[in-house]
Amino acid sequence: MDAGSGPTSSNSSLQEGPFSCPICLDALKDPVTIPCGHNFCLSCIGVHRHHPGAVTGSAGQSTSRCPLCQEPFPADLQLRKNHILAELLQLRQQSGGPSSPSSTMFPEEASCASGNPGSSPEDPDPQQEEVLCDFCTEGERARAAQSCLVCLASFCAPHLQPHLKNPAFQGHRLVPPLRHIEESLCKLHLKPLESFCRTDRSCICQLCRAQEHRSHEVVAVEVEREHMEAQRPKILSNVENQLDELEVTIAQTKRTVDLIKGTAQKEKEKVSKLFIETAKVLAAFQKEIFGFIEDGERAMLSGAEEELQQKVAKRAMLMECKQNLEKVPSTDAISFLQEFQALKIAAEEKNFPCTSFPKELSFIKSSQAVFVVKELLVNICKNQWDQLSGKGDEEPLLYGMSEVTSESKISEKSNPACLEAREYFLKFAFIIDLDSDTADKFLQLFGTKGAKRVLNPIAYPESSSRFINCEQVLGENIMNRGNYYWEVEIIDGWVSIGVIAENFNPRESYDRGRLGRNEQSCCLQWNGQSYVAWFGGFDCIIEQPFFHTIGVYLEYSEKVLTFYGVKDSKMTCLQQLKVARFKKGHFDPFQNKINHQFPSLFTHNLKPAFFLESADAHMQLGPLKRDCVSVLKRR
């Protein structure tokens, strides 16, 4: 029965009266009296006052109401046992009053007397608490009624009679049935544990109390039990709060663990893909080196083989003329003159010009080039690993660092101050119109300046430049030289603002087609909590407050893109994308990606791009001052 409900008709036959609890309708156990004068079991009223139905008083204090008269009392009232009423209950039980044993005895004692140890409502599993008589030998063993701490045995009702009638057992202590009696004895003296040492927080026997604990604070176990029972509601409430907190933190930790595992797996996949691409690059380089060696070999062999054939032919002719001359008889003057003349002509023929071979063959430098690449790769791998593991003391050795340095010098000269006045940027104002032929079907355009994401698709006409997997839209205008500045107002939701290559494929998959997730676009994203810069699938979180208006300043010739937070006439730099050196002892993967591939973005014509990510995303272009001179018109 709920702690706050009264007796029902089905319980009308149960005991009622001054010695029964109005909540559980059974005999009072550890009776307590609340301020209105009504008596309840300590456990029953303890559960009732912490019932969710409790109200809050005018002073902000939590209060409960008496189940009988509904008079309020403090929920944190310290309940104390009514000893007088408890003694009356005990006398009524000993005098054999009209009430049944189950209604006057405590639940534990009533269950022992009735032979049903599982009748207590607090027993979670009656089968586990059942104790059998140690003296029953014939047939099935009966359930124990009580246990003797002196005999260290449990007895059923018939076998318990000697302890109740024989004076020889008067000194034995009987308790409700215990499954493991030895646990109720002192391990040192084998005496019943009758006291509790508050100093050492342990149960002790009388010999322990007289010896080791004689100077300690010692009370009876019943007194300590009552003291602990008074603290139980507060302790249980504290435990419940801790369980709730642990449940929340466990869920958060599980999400963190899943996030770490998922991120690690994705990083492994990225690294594996990069290693495969690196292996392909090395394989292509190997193929080129082999081709270079073969081409050099073929070119040089063609001239050498031709000269060799000519010299072999001349040698054969001279040998033939010589042999013919030697065969002429000494008497044949005519034949001698003819053969001698032929040998003389053959010998006097001009020799073929010797091919001038280089002192060093060109292709033998191939091994040197490969050796340099190998050494460079070894050094880069070691340097990058030292940076990742926190051991690096020098700047990372990166491919193309000389290019990084030069680009950095140029950009630093032309970059305006982060807190420059807005009037400076308005000189480069760029009037943008949204291109409806690029808008995704889940984007609704408001003229050429506004866009909002919608739930129902819009029947736009077919267009080869329309995005089909990402809720994105481009500006009509092309940027390919000089400086450009435009502003975007974030009205609601998650919005990404950036630039994209004009020839980007709008039918790319969602993962590759989003702004900043590829090498042909970059953006500044507002995700409802913070700003994030994206390029090439790498991101950088920006700790800045929210600005409704975002200014975008593109220095095409200098290969620099800067995002500003605009408020009134002040500009706050949120993120600047440009090639730059690393700080000593610091490696930034996002900046590393910028250093290597961001300059290649400016080999394309660029267009303003917008990505409305969340279902409630809404943005508006501008407004810029009317007297601004449009860069588009000036060109």
The reply to whether 370 falls in a domain is no
Which of 174, 199, 216 is where one domain is finished?
216
In a domain, 348, yes or no: yes
d(CA 475, CA 544): 27
Asked whether residue 99 carries a pLDDT value surpassing 90, the answer given is: no
User: Is 164 among the domain residues?
Assistant: no
142 part of a folded domain: no
Top mean-pLDDT range of 108-112, 158-162, 224-228, 563-567: 563-567
Whether 10 has a pLDDT exceeding 80, the answer reads no
Please report the beta strands in 410-537, taking only residues with DSSP state E, as ranges in sequence order.
443-446, 450-453, 472-474, 483-492, 495-501, 521-526, 531-535
Residues 195 and 328 in one domain: no
Do both 479 and 619 map to the same domain?
A: yes
Structure tokens at 22: 């109005």
Please tell me the predicted confidence (pLDDT) of residue 61: 62
pLDDT in tens, 395-433: 444 444 433 333 333 344 334 444 567 888 888 899 899
Task: Count how many residues are written for the chain.
Answer: 635
The model's pLDDT over 563-619, given as tens digits with 9 standing for 90+, comes to 999 988 888 999 999 998 877 667 788 988 998 899 999 999 999 999 999 989 999
Domain's final residue, options 88, 105, 122: 105
Say if residue 94's pLDDT is above 50: yes
pLDDT of residue 352: 59
State pLDDT tens for residues 454-500: 999 999 999 999 999 999 999 998 999 889 999 999 999 999 999 99
Residue range 80-93, pLDDT digits in tens: 888 888 888 887 77
Alpha-carbon span 438 to 460, nearest angstrom: 10
Q: Are 79 and 230 in contact (CB under 8 A)?
A: yes
For residues 417 and 539, membership in a common domain is answered with: yes
Q: Can you give the pLDDT at residue 264?
A: 92
The pLDDT of residue 295 is above 50: yes
| Eight-class DSSP state of 480 | -
Residues 261 and 210 in one domain: no
Domain membership of residue 86 (yes or no) is yes
Burial zone of 55 (CB within 10 Å; 0-12 exposed, 13-18 middle, 19+ buried): exposed
596 with 530, same domain: the answer is yes
Name residue 185's beta-bridge partners.
192
Q: What pLDDT does 540 receive?
A: 92
> Residue 196 in contact with residue 204, Cβ under 8 Å?
yes
Segment 223-232, tens digit of pLDDT: 888 888 888 8
Show the tokens assigned to 451. Answer: 């866009």
249 shares its domain with 194: no
Q: What is the pLDDT of residue 625?
A: 52
| CATH for 79 | 3.30.40.10
pLDDT at 344: 86
Torsion angle defined by CA atoms of residues 471, 476, 480 and 482, in that order, rounded to the nearest 10 degrees:
-110
Considering the domain architecture, whether residues 510 and 448 belong to the same structural domain is answered as yes
Reported as a single tens digit per residue, the pLDDT across 423-457 is 888 888 998 999 999 999 999 999 999 999 999 99
Same-domain pairing of 210 and 261: no
What's the predicted TM-score (pTM) here?
0.39
Task: Read off the CATH number of the domain in which 547 is found.
Answer: 2.60.120.920
- Rounded to an integer, the average pLDDT of 147-172 is 85
pLDDT at 223: 87
- Answer whether residue 147 is part of any domain: no
Does residue 605 share a domain with residue 463? Answer: yes
Residue 445, pLDDT score:
94
Give me the domain span that covers residue 29.
1-105
254 and 334 together in one domain: yes
* Total number of domains in the chain: 4
Q: Give yes or no: residues 424 and 296 share one domain.
A: no
* Model confidence at 68: pLDDT above 90: no
* Residue 356: per-residue pLDDT: 56
pLDDT of residue 500: 96
Torsion sign over Cα 159, 165, 170, 173 = positive
Question: Do residues 194 and 249 both lie within one domain?
Answer: no
In angstroms, the CA 333 to CA 341 distance is 12
The residue type found at 244 is: D
